[in-house]
Amino acid sequence: MPDNPDVAAFWASFEAQIGEPILCKTMGQHYELPRSQGEWGLLVLTSSSLRFRPTPGENWFNSLFRMATPKVPENSLEDIVIPFNEVIEFTPPRKRFFDFLFSPPFSVFSIRYRRGGEERTVILAADPTSELYQSLRKRYQARNAS
């Protein structure tokens, strides 16, 4: 099935804007606090960083992963960009007994990193079956093994 030209153009423009190829992408969430309601956005993995781009509405967001035409918002919010060379720690999701009943549908994980001499933590969630989540996890397992 051929891709929607508008969706393909969006991703080509996204790559041109960030200046490097996208290795994988998925829907995700960003949490200000561990128990807050997460904001939806795009999680994008490149060879140098993980990027979260907030999206203003679920309809626009979902259209990027389906065959619908995306309506790009006029005012985009600022991306969260975490260069891999600044990462201190990747904390994968914890599995608890009742998680299948009471947890969000996506796997919540955190990344601690250092920017400008200041330590920061970002809490994100991604589909645990997505290529992005698996690639990110493998990248950190390989880094810790060496």
Q: pLDDT tens digit string along 47-97?
A: 999 999 998 655 445 545 555 554 544 455 689 999 988 998 888 766 665
* Residue 106 pLDDT grade (very low, low, confident, very high; cuts 50, 70, 90): confident
> Strands of 87-91's sheet, edge to edge?
80-83, 49-54, 39-45, 24-31, 118-126, 107-115, 87-91
Give the domains, in start order, of the chain with CATH numbers: 5-145 (2.30.29.30)
The structure's pTM equals 0.77
Tell me which DSSP letter residue 38 carries. Answer: P
Question: Per residue in 7-35, pLDDT tens?
Answer: 888 899 999 999 999 999 998 999 987 77
